[in-house]
Amino acid sequence: MNIQRCFTALVPIILILTFSQAAFANPIELSLDDSIALALQNNHDIKYAQSSREKSYWAVKEAKKNKGVSIDYSHISERYKTAPTVLTPAYTYTTEFDNTLSLSLPIYSGNELESKIDQAKLSLKVAEMEIDLAKQQLKLEVVTDYFTVLEYRNEVQVNQETVNNYVDHLNLVKTKYELGLVAKTDVLSSQVDLAKAQDSLIQAQNNYNNAVAALNNAIGLSHDTDLKLKDSFTYEKYSQTLEECIEYAKKHRLELAQYEANIASAQYDVKIAKSGYLPTVDLAATENWNDTHLPGAENNNWTIKMTASFNVFDSGLTHSKVQQAQHNVDMVEDKAKTERDSILLSVRQYYLSMYEAEKRIETNKVSVEQAEESLMIQKVRYDVGVGTNLDLLDAVLSLDSAKKDHIQALYDYNTNKAKLEQAMGMPVK
């Protein structure tokens, strides 16, 4: 009876574990858009950029506060002993309590504080653009990894088809050899080619597994997660011309806007350095209470003062700072020009590479059709004893090569298209 009860209790648990394992065994189906959305949700670089933006936001707040009113309060409680003097021959002990409330306000800083505020605002602008840049870079990474999985998945299929062709041919060769219709060299050469095809299949399967792990890493899933990709390689003619792509990049590439902000920030450094030539004006107000009894609220004294200071001579220190800042502006401007040229060059290169792959897609498609027809002919010729074993093996190899060339062309077209869009600065939707 106890055994029956235990078995009855274990049955639901066994069923739950069985269904759970089956559920976990099912691959996760992902489209390219699904993968991008998942990556945007899980990526740490984007979270880092968002935290950097928040840091810059509070840096603006800090810069603004430096120009505002500052109020400080201090309390001092002390007891001290005074040595004897002619007037007071005995040691005296004194207890004092002091309270001070101070107010300070910078009236004029020679544009130093104002320039630092504007610099902080520019840094915030750059940080906000960094978030979009991180998203664009992540999208490119995910798209490339996704297409890499597709490429190796298709290569595995092609290699498997090649292995199947070699296996079928080897069986045919063995049958002919047993009938005395072909030489032993036909069997040996067929076995060698089959072994090579199997070796290529093993390598392609390993490449596919590594590509899946890389995609999982990019989208924030466990590396061993089994994926089933919904999309496949497609070819859609790109509508924009090279000139249109270049003009779009000039207007929308965020790095160019960042360098413009960096140039403006460097120019503010010049203003900050030149503030050393100008006077500064500060307002200060102090209220003081002191007493010999806690809390020391008697004997009120107050002071209000405005201080103007001007550096008459600093041995050329300010001049050196100004020169450094001005040369830094030149450096940032030159760096911006270099970056601009590099961006426009990458747009051109990716566009031309995409266009080159586009032309290969059609030619390789024709090559696949011709290779399939050639293999069919060589199979018939060999079957009736007209063709040679070498001709048939070459036909299998040609079909394998043609299919892989077509896959490579599709991969190159789609990845170069993604790189082109990233180089142009197209936003992530």
The string of DSSP codes covering 368-424 is HHHHHHHHHHHHHHHHTT-S-HHHHHHHHHHHHHHHHHHHHHHHHHHHHHHHHHHHH
Tell whether the model's pLDDT for residue 284 goes beyond 90: yes
Domain ranges in the chain are 27-69+109-278+316-424
Secondary structure class of 426 (helix, strand, coil) = coil
Tokens 């047993």 belong to residue:
178
Which amino acid makes up residue 61?
K
Which amino acid makes up residue 184?
K
Tell whether the model's pLDDT for residue 23 goes beyond 70: no
Rounded Cα distance, 303 and 306, in Å: 10
Backbone angles phi, psi at 101, to 5 degrees: -115, 120
Q: Residue 281's pLDDT band (boundaries 50, 70, 90)?
A: very high
Average pLDDT value for residue range 260-277? 95
Q: How high is the pLDDT of residue 12?
A: 42
Tell whether the model's pLDDT for residue 75 goes beyond 50: yes
Q: How high is the pLDDT of residue 118?
A: 95
Q: How high is the pLDDT of residue 25?
A: 55
Contact 267, 330 (CB under 8 A): no
Out of 1.20.1280.260, 1.20.1600.10, 3.30.700.30, 2.40.30.10, select the CATH number for domain 27-69+109-278+316-424. 1.20.1600.10
Tell whether the model's pLDDT for residue 212 goes beyond 90: yes
Among residues 106, 169, 88, 191, which one has the least CA distance to residue 383?
169
Secondary structure class of 223 (helix, strand, coil) = coil
Average pLDDT value for residue range 396-400? 94
Q: How high is the pLDDT of residue 299?
A: 85
Bigger pLDDT: 313 vs 8: 313
| pLDDT 10s digits, 135-162 | 999 999 999 999 999 999 999 999 999 9
Q: Residue 14's pLDDT band (boundaries 50, 70, 90)?
A: very low
pTM: 0.81
Average pLDDT value for residue range 211-236? 93
Q: How many degrees, rounded to 5, is the angle at CA 308 between CA 307 and CA 309?
A: 115
Average pLDDT value for residue range 61-88? 90
Q: How high is the pLDDT of residue 15?
A: 37
Mean pLDDT of the chain: 91
Beta bridge partners of 104: 70, 284
User: What percent of the chain lies above the pLDDT cut of 70?
Assistant: 94
Tell whether the model's pLDDT for residue 190 goes beyond 60: yes
Tell whether the model's pLDDT for residue 6 goes beyond 50: no
User: Which residues 6+ apart lie within 8 Å of 93 measured at CB?
Assistant: 79, 80, 81, 82
Q: How high is the pLDDT of residue 22?
A: 38
- If phi over 0 gives left and psi between -120 and 50 gives alpha, with beta otherwise, what is residue 417? alpha
| pLDDT 10s digits, 304-357 | 999 999 999 989 999 999 999 999 999 999 999 999 999 999 999 999 999 999
Bigger pLDDT: 167 vs 83: 167
Rounded Cα distance, 350 and 419, in Å: 6
Average pLDDT value for residue range 404-411? 96
Across 213-279, where does the E strand assignment appear? 227-229
Q: How many degrees, rounded to 5, is the angle at CA 75 between CA 74 and CA 80?
A: 135
Query: Which helix (DSSP H) or strand (DSSP E) does residue 80 occupy?
Result: strand 70-82
Bigger pLDDT: 182 vs 370: 370
User: What percent of the chain lies above the pLDDT cut of 90?
Assistant: 80
Tell whether the model's pLDDT for residue 192 goes beyond 50: yes
Tell whether the model's pLDDT for residue 246 goes beyond 80: yes
Q: How high is the pLDDT of residue 221?
A: 92
Tell whether the model's pLDDT for residue 296 goes beyond 90: no
Task: Report the range of poorest mean pLDDT among 58-67, 290-299, 404-413.
Answer: 290-299
Q: How high is the pLDDT of residue 85?
A: 82
User: Which residues 6+ apart lie within 8 Å of 359 measured at CB?
Assistant: none
Rounded Cα distance, 346 and 240, in Å: 16
Among residues 401, 415, 405, which one has the least CA distance to residue 363?
405
